[in-house]
Structure 1
C-alpha cells in the first residue's frame, strides 16, 4: 500500500473515517521513514491525526517502526526524553535530577530536541552531562559518567526531519509524542514530561502496548520531566507492565511558577550548601520520582541522601 491508502482511512469523512490499527500505523511510519512517501501525503496524514486525536495504538505503531530503524545503543537503566520547547520554563533543574539518578549507580540516557530554545542544551555543560554525537561517544560517556545526552539529530536523523515539519505545517504533530515513546536503548524504565495533561494516559497506554515495564509521565515544567514541589502532582504510567497512576502531595507552601524561581545557575546550586531551598527540593523530588520508577523503595530518602552528599562525589 502507498501512504495515500492510510490518508484515505483517516480522511474519508464523518461516519466513514476511522483510526489506524497498530499494524497500519507501523506500516505508514515505515513508508514515511523509507523516503518513498510523497511529502504531501506525509503532511496530510500528520494533520489528519492531529485533528482526530491520536490513539495509543497509533502512537505505539509509529514508535515501533521508528525504533526499528534507530541505531543499536548500549544498555541503560533509565530512558529520559527531553522534547519540550522550553518557552514557559526557567533553568533546566531536571538535569541535576538526572545526574543524581546516575550517581545512584543507574545508567541514564537523555535524548531530545527543544526547538529553538537553548536552555536545555546550554544546561548540559553546567550540569556536567556529556553531549554525544554518535553511538560510540554515547557508550564512552555512559561508561565514564553513567549518563549521556544524545541529540535527536544524531540519534535518528529521519525522525528529526519529521519533527521539524512543524516549521512547515505551523502545528505540532504526533511526532513529538513518538519521540518521547522511542526509548531507543530499550530501557526497562522511562520518565517523561508533557505539556498537555491529556497525553499522560495516552503515553501510558502506548507504553503498555509496547510491552514496557515501568514508566512515569507528568505534566512538568514547560513539558519536561520536572516536578514543581509547590503543586500537587498527578502521575500516570506503568508499574510492572500495567497502567498505573498516583497523586503526590505538594511539598512546599509557596505558590511559585518555575519560570519565576531564582536565576541561580545549575553549577551554583550544585556547589551550594542548601539542601532545603525551593530549587533543591525540586531537584530531589524529581530525582525521587525517577528513582521510584526504577523500583527504589523510600526513593525520597535516597534522593535527599544523594543530594546531601553530592559535593563529595566527582563531577562528570
Structure 2
C-alpha cells in the first residue's frame, strides 16, 4: 500500500475512515520515523489519525515500527519505566517525587520525557532544580541505572525520530500519535521491567491494557493527572495491572480517597522542589493516592510479594 492509498483509507472523517491493519500501520510509521514521508502528506496523516483515533492494530503496528529505533537492553530486576511528557498545568508535578521515592525504596527507575513545554512545568525542569540532569546517551543511561538504580533520559536522546514527531505539536497546534506512543515505550526488551503509563480518556484504558497483553509486557495503567502517570491526589483512579506471565488484567489498586495531607501549594518549580524534598526526607507525609500507587509498583516490580506486605514494609520505612 502506498502513502496516498493510506491517506485515502484513514482520511475519510470520523464516521467513514478505516483503521489500518497491523502490517500497513507498521509500514506507515516506519516511513514516518525514517523521514520518508513528505511534509504535506505527513500533515494529512497526523490530522486524519487525530480525528479518527488509533485502532488497536494501528497502535500495535506503530509500536512495532518504533521498536527498531529504540535500544533493547537486557532486563534488570525490580525495574520500573516511567514516562513524563506533559508536566504540570494547574497543580504541582508529582512525577519526580514518585520516581525518586521508588528509587529510594529499592526499585530501579528508568524515567524518560521531554526537556520543556511552553505551557507547563516539566519533570526535567524540577529535576534540574534538584541537581539531577539527564543522561547524554544510551550507554550513560544504562550504566547509571545499573550503578545507581536511577536514570533520566530526554526523548531527543532516547529516540530522536520520535522526538521529532512530538515537536510537530508546536507546528500543527495538536498532539499526534507520538504522544500516545511515547508513554508506552521502554528501552528494555518487551518482557523486562514494568511500564507505568496513564490514559487521559476512559475509552483508551481497554485499548492500552490490550496493547500490553499483545506485546507481552508488564504494565500498570491508570487515569493519570494532567497527562502525567501519577494518580491525581484530589481525584485518584484505580490502577490496572497487566501481567504478561499470567496473561491477565487485574485491578491492583482500587479507586481511593483524595489526599488528606498537605500538597505543594502551587506548581512553581521552587515550591515543588521544596515539597518534594520534604516528603523524601519524611518531613511531610506521602499523599495517600501516591502511597497506594507506590505499593502497587512495589508488588508489580517484584520488590514485594503482596500488597499487604508492601503496605506494612512501607510503614516500617517511615512512609
| TM-score bucket (shorter structure) | 0.7 to 0.9
Q: CA deviation at 1:268?
A: 2.8
TM-score (norm 1): 0.83
Mapped to 2, the partners of 1:253 and 1:153 lie a distance apart of 35
2:134 aligned with 1:131 = yes
Moved more, 96-105 or 11-20: 11-20
**1:217 alignment counterpart:** 221
Aligned to 1:289: 296
Q: Given the alignment, which residue of 267, 273, 290 partners 2:283?
A: 273
Distance in 1 between residues matched to 2:206 and 2:130, nearest whole Å? 31
Give the Cα separation in 2 of the matches to 1:118 and 1:146. 25
Could you say what secondary structure the match of 2:89 adopts?
A: coil
Partner of 1:60: 60
CA contact (8 A) 1:237 1:244 kept: yes
Give the alignment's Cα RMSD to 1 decimal.
2.9
CA distance in 1, matches of 2:209, 2:6: 25
* CA displacement at 1:257 relative to structure 2: 8.6
**How far apart are the structure 2 equivalents of 1:75 and 1:171?**
35
Residue-by-residue CA offset, 1:268-287 (whole Å, 9 max, x unaligned): 3322434xx3x454543332
Match of residue 108 from structure 1: 109
Q: Could you state the TM-score of these two structures normalised by the residue count of structure 2?
A: 0.83
Q: Does 1:34 align with 2:34?
A: yes
**Does residue 247 of structure 2 align to residue 241 of structure 1?**
yes
State how far apart, in whole Å, the 1-side matches of 2:36 and 2:259 are. Answer: 55
Shift of 1:147: 0.9
Task: For residue 223 of structure 1, give the secondary structure of its aligned residue in structure 2.
Answer: coil
Q: Deviations over 1:44-80 (max 9, x none)?
A: 1121111112122211211111121223445342211
Q: 1:208: how far off? A: 1.5
Please show how residues 1-316 of structure 1 align to structure 2 within 5 Å.
1-12=1-12, 17-73=17-73, 75-76=75-76, 77-90=79-92, 92-113=93-114, 115-116=117-118, 117-125=120-128, 129-186=132-189, 187-212=192-217, 214-239=218-243, 240-245=246-251, 248-252=254-258, 254=260, 264-274=274-284, 277=285, 279-295=286-302, 296=304, 297-298=306-307, 299-308=310-319
Compare 281-290 and 254-263 and name the one that shifted more. Answer: 254-263
The answer for the alignment partner of 1:311 in structure 2 is none
Give deviations 1:125-168, integer Å, cap 9, x for gaps: 45675521101210221122201111101111111011111111
Partners of 1:195 and 1:15 lie apart in 2 by 22
CA distance in 1 between counterparts of 2:110 and 2:97 reads 13
Could you say if the C-alpha distance between residues 59 and 304 of structure 1 is closer, same or farther in structure 2, counting changes exceeding 3 Å? farther
Distance 2:34 2:300 in 1: 35
Measured in 1, the distance between the counterparts of 2:277 and 2:163 equals 30
Distance 1:232 1:265, change over 3 A: closer
**Count of equivalent residues:** 303
Partner Cα separation in structure 2 for residue 50 and residue 7 of structure 1? 13
CA contact (8 A) 1:229 1:250 kept: no
2: CA distance, partners of 1:155 / 1:170: 24
Segments of 5+ residues of structure 1 without an aligned counterpart are: 309-316
